[in-house]
Structure formats: C-alpha cells, structure tokens
Amino acid sequence: MNPHPNTEADRLMLDAKKAILQEQHRRFQELQKEGRWSDAMQQLHVTLSCAADLLKDSVVLLERAVNQRQGLKPKPSPPDRPFPPDSPASS
C-alpha cells in the first residue's frame, strides 16, 4: 500500500498546471511578436498569474514532503484555485 496516495495525483496536477503555463507563455510571445502590445500585456497578466499559482502549489508540496520526511504532521492543503480565464486575445 502506498503511504502517500496523493503524491502521484499531486505530480499530475503540477504537470497539468505547468503545461497550461507553457501555453499561456507561448500565447504571450506570439502576441508580442505580432506587435499586439495591449493584448500581450493582458496575456502577460494571465501568464504571471498561472506562474504564481504553480509556484505556490509547488511550495506546498515541497513543505509537505519535508514534513513527512521529518515525521511532522502535514499541514492541510489550501483549496484549489483554478487558473484565471484566458484573456480575450487568446481566443
């Protein structure tokens, strides 16, 4: 029996969020290359929000892993927050 059943699910969630972040960044770069600066700045906001969310979740998982290695009781996970909706430029 796996003592940490959420580990694989957590990895999959981080992988999915990383893929979403990469797509948002690609959209930003595309808008930037096209010279659509207003749309690019809106997209940058979405991209940075995705990056912040991914980093926050990564830190939570790292803290949980450290606590488990040290035998400490894990902190409860914060509720999942979905990524912000795509900017109008990404449609």
Rounded to whole angstroms, what are the CA distances from 43 to 28, 54, 55, 75? 5, 17, 18, 33
What the block records as the tokens of 4 is 């940490």
Please report the pLDDT score of residue 73 as a whole number: 64
Give the predicted TM-score (pTM) of the model.
0.69
Can you tell me the distance from the alpha carbon of 17 to that of 83, in angstroms, rounded to the nearest whole number? 8
Q: Digits of tens for pLDDT over the chain (91 positions)?
A: 445 557 888 889 999 999 999 999 999 999 999 999 999 999 999 999 999 999 999 999 999 888 888 887 655 655 665 555 554 444 4
Q: What angle do CA 28, 31, 32 make, to 5 degrees?
A: 85
- Res 33: pLDDT: 97
The whole-number pLDDT of residue 68 equals 84
In the chain, where the domains are located: 6-68
Instruction: Return the structure tokens found at 38.
Output: 């207003």
Backbone angle region of 64, left / alpha / beta, with phi > 0 → left and psi within -120 to 50 → alpha: alpha
